[in-house]
Amino acid sequence: MPLVNTKKMFEMAYKNGYAVGAFNVNNMEITQGIIDAVAEEKAPLILQISRGARDYAKISYLKGIINVVVEENPDIPVSTHLDHGDTFETCKQFVDDGFTSVMIDASSRPFKENIEITKRVVEYAHPRDVCVEAELGQLGGIEEDVVGVDDVSKHIADPNQAVEFVEKSGCDSLAVACGTSHGAYKFKSEPKLAFDVIQGIGERLPGFPLVMHGSSSVLKEFVDLINKYGGKMPHAMGVPEESISKAAKMAICKVNIDTDLRLALTAKIRQVFAEKPSEFDPRKYLGPGREAIKEMVRHKLHVLGCAGKAGECL
């Protein structure tokens, strides 16, 4: 089937208490690992591309890879999404390039300006059957050129503002700051998500899909492998998977995962280089990395609860 937008996915996710995994892709091996897991588990899929990925791989190559994904997996609903578009012009470019969903992140701007920018993107995207995600509140950490706040607890989304924001902007989903953070060093102590905020927005906006950014768990097995084979990642910490599962049963319909993909790939590459220092065939170290991504994604689909849900999202 052709690419789809996220409307049906989120309707079913909200109704049936799960979240769809949104995985960032930068190259062929990462994408293959993701789709191999998704196809076996029969889950809906959102493939995210950031401006950094576009600069790294060129949109023509990324679109070519995604076209193969769609062609070879007709029973899997796939949406392509711009992650953290910061301007109307960026979002317009991705809409024009055939993406089915875009995020406009004007969360660092004043509230009124955030609404105005989001509304402008919505007015361009909706006539072209493209869904729009916006952001309210601010996350911590760093993801490419997105630099978050130092204290996430002071920038949590306001449920009352969320109602006004959605009504005035017309966005289709809302990424809410609820205590998560970008990157591998998300927290200095055990994280506590603001479930009361998720619940509060859900009560005020029944049926409206929310999004969790900065939601990689920074899985210990990959951090340990990286450190074992020459890496230096002390104190890396992510979002506990039980918290993600809990949020997915509430109003959270989309969960972003990027750092865990990077960690899985890097851990296996480091392991191959350490155990076979004479290896120079990229297939021999990218292959294990791809397999690690596949198994990690399979696991995440069950954490999110979306395994086996592809059919209802078609």
CB half-sphere exposure, 61, CA atoms < 13 A: 12
pLDDT band at 178 (very low <50, low <70, confident <90, very high): confident
pLDDT at 117 over 70: yes
Among residues 83, 105, 258, 260, which one is catalytic? 83
Please tell me the predicted confidence (pLDDT) of residue 207: 98
Domains within the chain, CATH numbers bracketed: 7-226+235-259+296-313 (3.20.20.70)
Q: Give me the residue label for tokens 């029973």.
A: 75
Task: Give long-range contacts, CB 8 A cutoff, 24+ apart: 238-246.
Answer: 238/184, 238/186, 238/187, 239/180, 239/186, 239/191, 239/193, 239/214, 239/215, 240/191, 241/217, 241/303, 243/191, 243/193, 244/19, 244/212, 244/215, 244/217, 244/303, 244/304, 245/303, 245/304, 245/305, 246/195
Question: Annotated catalytic, 83?
Answer: yes
- Window from 86-90, 156-160, 187-191 with minimum mean pLDDT: 187-191
- Per DSSP, the three-state class of 17 is coil
- Per DSSP, the three-state class of 134 is strand
Whole-number Å distance between alpha carbons of 295 and 299: 6
Neighbours of 201 (CB within 10 A): 26
pLDDT at 25 over 90: yes
For residue range 28-53, what is the model confidence (pLDDT) as tens digits?
Answer: 999 999 999 999 999 999 999 998 89
H helices of 126-158, in order, are none
For residue range 61-110, what is the model confidence (pLDDT) as tens digits?
Answer: 999 999 999 999 999 999 999 999 999 999 999 999 999 999 999 998 99
Q: C-alpha angle 214/7/123, rounded to 5°?
A: 90
Question: Is residue 129 exposed (0-12), middle (13-18) or buried (19+ Cβ within 10 Å)?
Answer: exposed
pLDDT at 123 over 70: yes
Please tell me the predicted confidence (pLDDT) of residue 237: 81
Please tell me the predicted confidence (pLDDT) of residue 190: 65
The per-residue pLDDT of the chain, averaged, comes to 91
pLDDT at 150 over 60: no
Whole-number Å distance between alpha carbons of 222 and 261: 10
- Residue 138's region, left for phi above 0, alpha for psi from -120 to 50, else beta, is beta
pLDDT band at 11 (very low <50, low <70, confident <90, very high): very high
Whole-number Å distance between alpha carbons of 288 and 280: 14
Whole-number Å distance between alpha carbons of 206 and 134: 17
pTM exceeds cut of 0.85? yes
Quick one: CA dihedral 305, 214, 160, 246, positive or negative? positive
